[in-house]
A and B are shown apart, each in its own frame.
Chain A
Amino acid sequence: MGHNVLLVDDSSTMRKIVGRSLRQAGLDFDNIFEAADGLLALEVLEKESVDIVLSDINMPNMDGISFLREKANRANMKDIPVFMISTETGEDIIGEAKALGAKGAIKKPFTPDMVNEILGPFLT
């Protein structure tokens, strides 16, 4: 049985690239949901069954860090794992994301192999 994934990025192009990378990496997802910012991501998590979230950090309306903080306060979604996928890779901001529950980070630019390396062990 596959998983459901939520892609959170203000760039629709990047959401498409990540979705394609997941498929090219051979990762088995039944549904790929999309959201353009943290606020919209919370709405998806309220409505859909999601197994894993891949989220950008720099986004309008609600950024990735605020999304993690808000998600951690909601009992029905706080345990859904989140991986950051961003140009932001500084130890300070990734450290803050991990302190708020993020399981890891993928740096843009990335290849399907890089995505598989980080997500693969988590999905088996």
Chain B
Amino acid sequence: MDIGQDIIEATTDIFSTMLMMDLDVGDPLEGADGDVLSNITSMLGLGGDIRGMLAVHCPAAVAMAITGGFLGMDVDELNEDVKDAIGEIANMVAGNLKVAFAGYDMKIELAIPSSVVGESFRVAGMLGARRVAVPFAMEGGQFLVELKYIVNS
């Protein structure tokens, strides 16, 4: 299993297909939690053969740029459209990861995403979970896609 690469492929696929945007990809980060510099985080729960959560953490400028790209208009505040758009990014990344996990003979189920706006986030809990996070860079800054999961025995 190469979950870091799976996150990279799942995310770049969405940006190239729907936003016609190539992302600069950072090295996957594994291990302990850390504070994430973010103004908006969208996350959704994962169930089935694993339990966990996928989160997309964005600074405001990046979130507004993504939303503007989706909607074909300028976006200048963290409004409902932005929360919705980043939630859809999380949803589509999770959908692509579902296909990747199926390749490992693991079936996962997706919950509905939710978004929170704030200054800095740490997703706590899930003792013993594996954490893989990948930074991506685009015009406006960096965002992070984070997966935390435990394989159900």
Contact = CB atoms under 8 A, between A and B. Distances in A.
Interface of A: 10-14, 16-17, 20, 58-60, 86-90, 107-111
Given A11-B87, A13-B70, A20-B72, A58 B81 contact: no
A117 to B, nearest CB: 14
B95 interface: yes
Given A108-B92, A109-B13, A111-B17, A10 B102 contact: no
B98 A87 contact: yes
Contacts, number: 60
Q: Is the interface of A mostly helix, strand, loop or mixed?
A: loop
Interface string B59-73: 000000001001110
Interface of B: 13-14, 17-18, 67, 70-72, 80-81, 84-85, 87-88, 91-92, 94-96, 98-99, 102, 107, 110-112
Contacts of B98: 87-88, 90
